[in-house]
Structure 1
Amino acid sequence: MRPPTVLQGAPYPYRANSLNLFRLILAGTVLVAHSFYTTGNGEGPHIRGENLGGWAVAGFFVISGFLITRSRLRTSAGEYLLHRIVRIFPAFLVCLVVTAAVFGPVAMLMQYGSLAGYATTPVTPLQFVWSNITLYMNEYSIGRTLSDLPYRSVWNGSLWTLYYEFLCYVMVWLLGALAWFRRSAVLAVLAFVAATAAHALESVINVAGLDGDFLLFLKLAPFFLGGACVHFVIERWGVNPWIGAGAFVVTGALILGVPGWGGQASAPFMAYGLLWLATVVPQPRWIAVNDVSYGFYIYAWPVQQLLALGGLGIGGGALGLIVYNVAAVLLTFVFAWLSWRLIEHPAMSRIRRRVVVPSRTGSAAA
């Protein structure tokens, strides 16, 4: 059966899009959103009770849902899981170590002029690394460091989302074992509807005694599943520019018009719009071959805290905040590039096997 003409579009250019650039922009948006908190300049702009960083994370999740679903359907269960572990864990673990062994001592010297007690005062550097090693953030502080800042004693307020992203990886890993999921979008759509409905009924679920971790998962999972649903749509019908532009209109209407769960309901439209836009907006070749967005995301907060510890951005008004953000972007970019070149890219290169799967795009596995 031929697809309806109104839905028909061009095959998605998996090897010629700007998703690296878009993810880097989203990571930069998270940095800017966090800058208000780390410098004590209020909470910054909000849309429907969520700051810009929260909406940027939603963008991350819808794009990830699209790409990860494609990966699951094109690789074996074991290979998929190995790729997901290697993509997220090595850089995360190195970030924990760098925070404890480099950022922490620098902060200690800046605050107290000495490293006395740094290795033994709870939470010790080793405790910080070990307690967070599973992706679940149990500890955010290291000893007495950062105790005088507006966002006191928190070394990385961004890493908490990685635990929920990995849970979404596992969810798709399990769904991918079902032939029904592989054949059509029906199961992905049902999962998306169920997750969105569960989030909308959060107050009822909360009464049932489920904790805040599960509620956070219900908040983020619909975005990931929305991206998964769009994968099936684009694989069958391609990407249509008119639908792409219209998807942004629907996304805005749902977010602004439906309090509480409109953002989650908008996830498939948000995903389609961003994916279409990534086929229109060009990206620099350097960014196309260097995916620094993950490193940027995980290093931005500790860099911002060190800059705040040095007094940059605190009490400086709007201009001070701009200078602070520019400095944070530049310094974070250095750490992101080092993470990509020394950790992420080498780790993925070692485990990636070339998988050739016939498809209309002719592209290899994501």
Structure 2
Amino acid sequence: MLNRETDSAVVTGKLHRPKVSPGLRFGKALDPRNNSLNFIRLILALMVLFAHSFHLVGAGNGPGFKGENLGGWAVAGFFGISGYLITGSRFNNRLGTYLIHRIARIIPAFLVCLVAMAAVFAPIAYYVQHASMHGFFQTPTTPLNSIFANMFLKINTYDIAGTPAEVPYPGAWNGSLWTLYFEFLCYLLVAALGTFAFVKKSPWPMVAAFLLSVAVWANMERLAPYMQNSLDFNLLARLVPFFLGGAVVKVFSKKIGLSWQGAAIAMLIAVVTVFGFDGFGNQLAAPFLAYVVLWVSTWLPSPKVIMTNDVSYGAYIYAFPVQQMLAVFGAYHWGVWWFTLAALIATMPLAIASWLAIEQPIMKLARRRV
């Protein structure tokens, strides 16, 4: 899930024509107030929904490519976009302001989602499973503990009171939230890098950080025993290169703009890299893939309502519990495509409500207070 940076235009609804920096050697600068990144992020969130449908109806992993299923590539896209935008946010703000914005964007809606799962989704499933509510509040993982154990983004428990059960993928209400912890760690990484003036003045320290992250992932088998084969370390090492790939594009953005020629070259390099380096080619290709996605955002038409309302986060965090609720009522028998369509229809009202009632107001408040 993942980027949660939103420019002021998303809050105000104002759009402007792209501004071209005179320092660019070629291409155009990405206009932060007139692009289709919100639309692309929504597409990525729905790709994750579709990928999860295969698991949740018991149809395997679904389509994949070079070691990642469709959802994995969507998450990589999220992290690339996030790396670009979040690096810009860090370099343009003091540390305190930056952290307040990041917390305001990701935490409140996340906490409300935890409460919704414990107070709405799980009780319904528990009643369907037991035909009564007896023992719901005391059955491990208890509803209150499901909130407390996960409230700091690190997902420690996935079930609530033994639900969901009797479904193809039991014991997990939200298999999407785990990425938010690692995204926030990437926020902290960029926060730390941004404290050094030389990182802001030259693009090469960020390039070095990116290459180091790729080297860590490429040598994961050697490093894993020294980290006690930590799954968290493995997942972080897998995702950080995608985030820093976007950051690399950002630090070069003052000199290198976005153009179709640049996107074509970047795509060619990405293809060669993905196919040419087994095990870490996906990560090594991250800056080039991020460049392509960002260029696409300059010409891909976006509905104005989506351009000014970023519902992708809500779609991302609510899709999985909605899908599991459908599965509790037997919708997994419908097959992947009908199941996905039903989940999409049921998820979007929650995503819209999350944006309008929680995310947008809290971001406005955070910007007024700093």
Normalising by the residue count of structure 2, what TM-score does the alignment of the two structures yield?
0.91
Whether contact under 8 Å (1:244, 1:276) holds in the other structure is yes
Q: Percent identity?
A: 48
| Deviation readout 1:77-114 (Å, 9 max, x if unpaired) | 10000000110000000000000001111111222222
Contact kept in structure 1, 2:54 and 2:60, CA below 8 Å: yes
2:24, 2:257 within 8 Å by CA — same for their partners in 1?
no
Conserved 8 A contact 2:36-2:307: yes
> Which one of 227, 242, 255 corresponds to residue 261 of structure 2?
242
User: What pairs up with 1:180-199 in 2 under 5 angstroms?
Assistant: 180-199=198-217
Note if 1:113 corresponds to 2:131: yes
State the alpha-carbon separation in 1 of the partners of residues 134 and 308 from structure 2.
43
Q: What corresponds to 1:358 in structure 2? A: none
Counterpart of 1:40 in structure 2: which amino acid?
Answer: G
Instruction: Map residues 1-366 of structure 1 onto 2, 5 A cutoff.
Output: 8-210=26-228, 211-314=230-333, 316=334, 320-353=335-368
Q: CA deviation at 1:289?
A: 1.0
Q: 1:109 is matched by which residue type in structure 2?
A: Y
Runs (4+) of structure 1 moved beyond 6 Å? none
CA separation of 1:4 and 1:153: change in aligned 2, threshold 3 A: closer
**Offset from partner CA, 1:135-163 (integer Å, 9 cap, x none):** 00000011122121111110100000000
How many angstroms does 1:313 deviate by?
A: 2.9
Query: Residues of 2 paired with 1:107 and 1:144: CA distance?
Result: 10
**TM-score of the two chains, using structure 1 as the length reference:** 0.92
Report the residue type matching 1:251 in the other structure.
Answer: A
Shift of 1:296: 0.5
Between the aligned partners of 1:212 and 1:127, the Cα distance in structure 2 is 23
- Report SS of the residue matched to 1:235: coil
Q: Is the 8 A contact 2:241 2:286 kept in 1?
A: yes
Q: Distance in 2 between matches of 1:335 and 1:252?
A: 37
Cα distance change, pair 291–136 in 1 and its aligned pair in 2 (3 A)? same
1:12–1:235 CA contact under 8 A, matched in 2: no
Question: 2: CA distance between counterparts of 1:29 and 1:37?
Answer: 13
Choose 240-249 or 285-294, whichever is displaced more.
240-249
TM superposition shift of 1:235: 2.4
Contact 2:210 2:245 in 1 (8 A): yes
SS in 2 for 1:146: coil
- 8 Å CA contact retained: 1:66, 1:230: yes
Deviation at 1:354, TM superposition (A): 9.8
How many residue pairs match? The answer is: 348
Runs of 5+ consecutive residues of structure 2 not aligned to the other structure = 1-21
CA distance in structure 2 between the aligned counterparts of 1:246 and 1:110, rounded to whole angstroms: 54
User: How far has the Cα of 1:3 moved from its partner?
Assistant: 6.9
Unaligned residue ranges in structure 1 (runs of 5+): 356-366
Using the TM superposition, give the Cα deviation of residue 245 of structure 1 relative to its aligned residue in structure 2, in angstroms.
2.5
Distance 1:127 1:173, change over 3 A: same
Q: Distance in 2 between matches of 1:3 and 1:77?
A: 27
Specify the code of the residue in structure 2 equivalent to 1:305: Q
Q: Which residue does 2:6 correspond to in 1?
A: none
Q: 2:242 touches 2:287 (CA, 8 Å); kept in 1?
A: yes
Pair 4,173 (structure 1): closer, same or farther in 2 beyond 3 Å: closer
- Equivalent position of 2:17 in the other structure: none
What whole-Å deviation, never above 9, does each CA across 1:104-136 have from its counterpart, x for those lacking one? 111112222221111110100001000001100
- Find the residue that maps to 1:313 and give its secondary structure: helix
Aligned residues of 1:168 and 1:224 also touching (Cα < 8 A): yes
**Conserved in 1, the CA contact under 8 Å of 2:24 and 2:254?**
no
Report the residue type matching 2:332 in the other structure: G
Write the distance in 2 (CA, Å) between the matches of 1:247 and 1:305. Answer: 39
CA distance in 1, matches of 2:169, 2:325: 12
Per the alignment, in what secondary structure is the counterpart of residue 165 of structure 2?
coil
